[in-house]
Structure 1
């Protein structure tokens, strides 16, 4: 519990203490000091009840009730808390009167439920204030998380503009398409369309932090079509995609980043090339993507800024259940991303 919560608690229940003491019965034979102590005990019991209400409200917030339902819950909980505290204090005072006869007059002057109206008003005011502050806090946290997500996306797009899609790749793709124009104009037109789609996805992706698996696969296929112009038969591509995963959302650029890293660090440097395999399937309410390539995992392969950025965006978008992992399996490097339950 935060310091701010306790400061507000002390302030609010101090005001209640003052009001309850002013409204105390004046015709009893109990001294003012003893009545003050009894009122102080009532305020303490009231504070304990508000802490219990806080636990109830925090437990219910995950259910996403609307404003009207929250208002009804707050009013009902306030009345029940007031009745519970009043009856508890009434019987505690009755028990104390057995040991201290001077409290009998105070107990008789304040029968059961006599304190409940004031307590109910106090709890209703407390509940409305607490729920309003809690809602504002959640809205601020959501807005802050959205801003962080947008900043992470902008950073990812900048990373790709500066390094992921290098001028070397662009020049090679254009030169290969130019050479195809004289040999196979139709194939050259097809690769030029892929090149245009790849550039469009890279440079004009918009502000959408998440895209569907189908969208990510489309741009990966276009990209691989261009890469095949350079690698030719050195690259064997395989793909296994579950139909149910196609509509699931993933961070923009995530699959393409894994594929580009596999080619850049695994297939392109190897004279013999190798196999590139993409596997996508639903898992734990989310999606899991595995990119396998022939090669050896190096210590620096998982330390790039692109992968660090992707880990941050996974955390912001899906929470700690999502993750990214690189590992060596026999003669293959496997890069895995998941957005649901832990892999």
Structure 2
């Protein structure tokens, strides 16, 4: 039964109950005549009329959808509601007391002014609480809507980036396979098998914002196996993976993109080939992934601004904000180092 009562009626009941208790306290401590049964009846009648009058004007302004008004109109509406509620409460209370209980005041002018001021103060407090409550609720709803909008935008951006990554990767892989068809058909068939494994894995993780490092490594190993067919002994790969990092979440296709970048812009440009070193470790509350490859960044070119590197920065920013970072640099005269740092939480 109580669960069906909404917040508004709970506030009405509790607020007027507090008003009743305060009046009881006043009569028992400040009034020498004490709190009589007639006082309790009058007070209960006043409270019932107070609930009815405030609810009446609340219903009226809700029907006019007052929350969409400008601030100036809401201020005017506030004072109009205070005055309307106070006058309605005063007139209804004393009309009822006069016609039913034949009640008249001896101190007419002073009593009217005193009671009107009291009703205006009471009405002002009621409407002030009501307005503040709705102001807080609207702000909270606006914040929730803003978060939902930001989440939706983030998801759309991630999907856009992933939609660009897959064709980008497939194009490069098909170029590699095409180079093998005439030279060694058997190796080309093997390359197609490796490519199908990569595509199957990427399709399974396409809808996810993050995947485990272990799944990402499986795609990388298939990709490097495909590339090893093309480079043969010119490509050496070394892994150093902390087992505790295998279940940690990373953006899908991020590691594969960085490894592909190392092959395309590093190993493939060196006649003797080179090495790719992949490291995953924990440093405090951070997950650090390092990829080193033989080669050099071109200082006067678009250093670190290729599509794969840009997509890595964007996805890290979307998923982790400023808690994640990505850096690529020349470690020495023969090695390029790419470092991704992500938070554990």
Same fold, judged at TM 0.5 (above): yes
Q: 1:161 & 1:236 partners in 2: Cα distance? A: 23
Which residue in the other structure is 2:248 paired with? 248
- The answer as to whether partners of 2:180 and 2:187 remain within 8 angstroms in 1 is no
Structure 2 unaligned runs (5+)?
Answer: 1-66, 88-112
1:309 aligns with 2:311: yes
1:136 aligns with one of 134, 145, 158:
145
Q: 2:139 & 2:271 partners in 1: Cα distance? A: 66
Which residue in the other structure is 1:271 paired with? 271
Structure 1 unaligned runs (5+)?
Answer: 26-104, 182-187
1:333 aligns with 2:336: yes
Q: 1:156 & 1:179 partners in 2: Cα distance? A: 28
Change (3 A) 1:110 1:282: farther
Mapping for residues 100-119 of structure 1, pairs under 5 Å:
109-110=117-118, 114=122, 115-119=124-128
Which residue in the other structure is 1:171 paired with? 178
Q: 1:296 & 1:132 partners in 2: Cα distance? A: 51
Which residue in the other structure is 1:321 paired with? 323
Change (3 A) 1:180 1:153: closer
How many aligned positions are there? 250
Mapping for residues 1-343 of structure 1, pairs under 5 Å:
8-22=70-84, 109-110=117-118, 114=122, 115-162=124-171, 164-165=172-173, 167-172=174-179, 178-179=185-186, 193-201=193-201, 206-283=206-283, 285-299=285-299, 300-330=302-332, 331-340=334-343
- The answer as to whether partners of 1:173 and 1:226 remain within 8 angstroms in 2 is no
SS at match of 1:339: strand
Cα RMSD after superposing both structures: 3.5
Q: 1:289 & 1:232 partners in 2: Cα distance? A: 26
**Larger RCO, structure (CA 8 Å, separation 6 or more):** 1
Deviation readout 1:80-122 (Å, 9 max, x if unpaired): xxxxxxxxxxxxxxxxxxxxxxxxx98x944997343332222
TM-score (norm 1): 0.61
- The answer as to whether partners of 1:267 and 1:294 remain within 8 angstroms in 2 is yes
Which residue in the other structure is 1:99 paired with? none
Q: Which moved more, 1:316-325 or 1:196-205?
A: 196-205
TM-score (norm 2): 0.61
Q: 1:118 & 1:202 partners in 2: Cα distance? A: 58
